């Protein structure tokens, strides 16, 4: 099968700056969503599942904002009614009331924070679960065209951005909007004339923030692009270090790295400069606004047109009014990033699942006294398997699972352009082994993929015990097949658990017997904890040959009626290959087997050997028959032609 997977190295960085306005103030390179309204509305649907929590959060935000606004306004009566007249007993009572206001606001903020964190975590958990469930239902064609790292980023970066939005950004946005609107309203109530001066400074702050922020985002975007290139260059250099040294390319690699690194430095310096300069500018403008307000307010107070308490309260609002603007800008950027990530997550969720219109299922059965197949009942152990084939007139017929497989004029293409198999016809009788040999890309692995219905054929038919495989439910079809692949995948767990993966209900004795049959028992016993040895990192602590032996044992314990071995012994040395030959014979006994191999020594005992070239069978027969013809197979065995 042609490998259409693409490997990609993606790197990115999130830059944040802290300033008077709080965390996340610096402009960043923000990816814009394609359709903000649709993506944002879809994220909010997850909040509808917790309407009570959302209502409580909103109430807490209103109470918290009201407490902040009321606390600032309370300065006016404190000064005018208690401090100026010298009523210190009344001042103590008023301060107690002020403390109560702030305590209520503190309690509301605490409750809001706790609720939003729980809501964000719960929603992210649901999204990850739905995404994982959807990926389990997608066909292999999707994974062939998407790099694994790209898919992993959906679970990490994208869902994390959604979680950050639900935990912090939305609540902070609402809180900042309430604080800003309330502060503006209170400033207008206290002194409309003073507010005009403050509004002019605010307009200048917004203009400068937008202007400087756009420049910063441009440089941050360039910085991210160069960082990705830099990481890719480092990974390539380290991965190919042996080749670099073998061909004396150290100087060229250094020059290439230094060029990218210098470009990254310049972009990062410019981005950091603009991101760093915006907060001092905003802070100083805020101080200018505060000082100017104090001077103008003082003049009005001296003139008798403004009382001291109102001036103090107005200055308090003036001091804090710049903070909500900066927070709103920062949180909007976070929300944009979250919606852009959500679009990638929902893009996967919206893909149609792997189609499966089959109506034939696999049943555990036994033969009654008359020799007829009947489904087993309760916990009775299966002694046979049968296909449950619905009849057009109603009811169903039980067809014994024998392992008779026919390819009849099968034509297939992965992309609809290049034909991989052309009018292929093969008949594997029950208990027979069919071997396929041929050049890389000849279509050998494609045959196994089509039998499993990882892909569906373009034309022709594949019959399994006389039933078109397209009529068989995919889970039933795959349950009847056992596969050993060239690239063995082992799961995190013990050796015993990895063997039992082939049949979850298998006993320990069954797994040990399977390992002995596959000649894996000898190396397993030498592991630190034998069958209890933990396998991690896809079996990084085992050799490739040992991993394949475990895969063969896994297939053995599954005991399927049809076996598919795709280069199953390619990484096993010749001595080990001879050791497992007896086990393979036992494994093949009574089962139909398809063997795909580059090693001709592994296919000599096959009932029939098919030589594939460019998707067509050019020769077929037993080992002896093909040698006698002195054709392509003879050339391969004689070494005058190559498989690769």
Span 306-354, pLDDT tens digits: 888 888 999 888 887 777 877 787 788 788 888 888 998 999 999 998 8
Residue 589 is classified by DSSP as: T
Over 50: is that where the pLDDT of 80 sits?
Answer: yes
- Answer whether 385's CB lies under 8 Å from 363's CB: yes
Residue 79 has a CB neighbour count (10 Å cut-off) of: 19
Q: Residues 119, 121, 122, 124: is their CA dihedral positive or negative?
A: positive
Q: Which of 135-139, 185-189, 536-540 has the lowest mean pLDDT?
A: 536-540
Sign of the CA dihedral with 121 first, then 126, 129, and 135 last: negative
> Could you tell me how far CA 308 lies from the centroid of its own chain?
60
Confidence of residue 426 (pLDDT cuts 50, 70, 90): very high
Residue 598 has pLDDT above 80, yes or no: no
Give the up-direction half-sphere exposure of residue 219: CA atoms within 13 A in the CB hemisphere: 21
**Strands, E, within 429-490: which ranges?**
433-438, 459-464, 467-468, 481-484
Domain at 405-638, CATH class:
alpha beta
Q: Which residues contact 114 (CB under 8 A, 6 or more apart)?
A: none
Average confidence (pLDDT) over 502-510: 88
- Say yes or no: domain 30-190+325-353 is CATH 1.10.10.60: no
Question: Cα(554)–Cα(75) distance, rounded to whole angstroms?
Answer: 77
Taking only the tens place, the pLDDT of each residue in 231-249 is 888 888 887 888 888 878 8
Average pLDDT of the chain to the nearest whole number: 83
With beta carbons less than 8 A apart as the criterion, state whether 336 and 32 touch: yes
pLDDT for 320 equals: 78
**Nearest CA among 335, 363, 336, 397 for reference residue 475:** 363
Q: Which of 403, 426, 478, 437 is nearest to 567 (CA)?
A: 437
3-state secondary structure 338-351: HHHHHHHHHHHHCC
**CA 320 – CA 286 distance, rounded (Å):** 9
């Amino acid at each position: 099968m042609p490998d259409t997977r693409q490997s990609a190295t993606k790197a990115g960085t999130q830059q944040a700056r802290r300033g008077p306005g709080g965390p996340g103030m610096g402009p960043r390179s923000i990816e814009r969503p394609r359709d903000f309204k649709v993506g944002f509305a879809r994220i909010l649907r997850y909040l509808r599942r917790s309407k009570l929590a959302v209502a409580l959060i909103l109430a807490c935000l209103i109470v918290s904002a009201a407490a902040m606004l009321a606390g600032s306004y309370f300065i006016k009566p404190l000064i005018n009614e208690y401090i100026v007249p010298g009523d210190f007993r009344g001042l103590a009572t008023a301060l107690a009331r002020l403390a109560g206001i702030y305590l209520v606001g503190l309690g509301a903020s605490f409750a809001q924070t706790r609720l939003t964190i729980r809501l964000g975590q719960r929603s992210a958990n649901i999204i990850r679960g739905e995404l994982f469930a959807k990926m389990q239902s997608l066909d292999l064609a999707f994974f062939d065209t998407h790099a694994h790292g790209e898919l992993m980023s959906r679970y990490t970066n994208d869902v994390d951005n959604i979680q950050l939005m639900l935990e912090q950004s939305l609540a902070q946005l609402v809180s900042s909007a309430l604080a800003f609107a309330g502060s503006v309203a209170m400033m207008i109530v206290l002194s409309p004339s003073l507010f005009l001066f403050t509004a002019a400074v605010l307009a200048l702050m917004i203009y400068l923030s937008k202007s400087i922020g756009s420049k910063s985002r441009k440089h941050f975007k360039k910085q991210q692009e160069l960082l990705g290139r830099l990481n890719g260059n480092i990974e390539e250099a380290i991965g190919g270090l042996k080749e670099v040294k073998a061909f004396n390319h150290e100087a060229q690699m250094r020059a290439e790295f230094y060029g990218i690194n210098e470009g990254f430095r310049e972009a990062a310096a410019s981005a950091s400069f603009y991101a760093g300069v915006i907060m001092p500018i905003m802070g100083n403008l805020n101080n200018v606004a505060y000082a100017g307000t104090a001077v103008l307010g003082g003049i009005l107070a001296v003139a008798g047109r403004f009382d001291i308490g109102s001036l103090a309260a107005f200055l308090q609002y003036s001091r804090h009014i710049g903070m909500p603007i900066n927070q709103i800008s920062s949180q909007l950027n976070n929300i944009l990033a979250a919606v852009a990530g959500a679009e990638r997550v929902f893009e996967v969720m919206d893909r149609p699942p792997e189609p499966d219109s089959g109506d034939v299922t696999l049943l555990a059965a036994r033969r009654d006294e008359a020799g007829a197949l009947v489904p087993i009942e309760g916990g009775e152990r299966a002694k046979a398997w049968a296909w449950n084939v619905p009849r057009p007139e109603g009811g169903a017929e039980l067809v014994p699972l024998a392992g008779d497989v026919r390819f009849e004029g099968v034509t297939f293409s992965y992309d609809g352009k290049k034909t991989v198999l052309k009018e292929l016809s093969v008949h594997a009788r029950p208990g027979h082994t069919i071997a396929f040999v041929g050049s890389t890309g000849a279509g050998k692995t494609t045959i196994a993929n089509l039998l499993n219905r990882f892909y569906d054929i373009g034309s022709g038919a594949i019959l399994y015990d006389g039933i078109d495989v397209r009529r068989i439910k995919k889970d039933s079809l795959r349950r009847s097949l056992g596969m050993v692949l060239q690239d063995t995948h082992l799961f995190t767990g013990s050796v015993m658990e990895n063997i039992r993966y082939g049949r979850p209900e298998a006993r320990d004795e069954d797994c040990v017997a399977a390992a002995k049959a596959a000649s894996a028992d000898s190396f397993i016993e030498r592991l630190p904890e034998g069958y209890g040895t933990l396998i991690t990192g896809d079996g990084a602590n085992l050799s490739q040959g040992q991993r394949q032996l475990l895969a063969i044992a896994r297939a053995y314990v599954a005991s399927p009626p049809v076996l598919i071995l795709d280069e199953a012994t390619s990484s096993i040395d010749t001595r080990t290959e001879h050791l497992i030959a007896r086990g393979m014979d036992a494994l093949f006994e009574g089962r139909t087997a398809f063997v795909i191999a580059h090693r001709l020594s592994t296919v000599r005992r096959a009932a029939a050997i098919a030589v594939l070239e460019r998707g067509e069978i050019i020769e077929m027969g037993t080992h002896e028959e093909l040698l006698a013809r002195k054709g392509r197979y003879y050339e391969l065995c004689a070494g005058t032609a190559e498989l690769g």
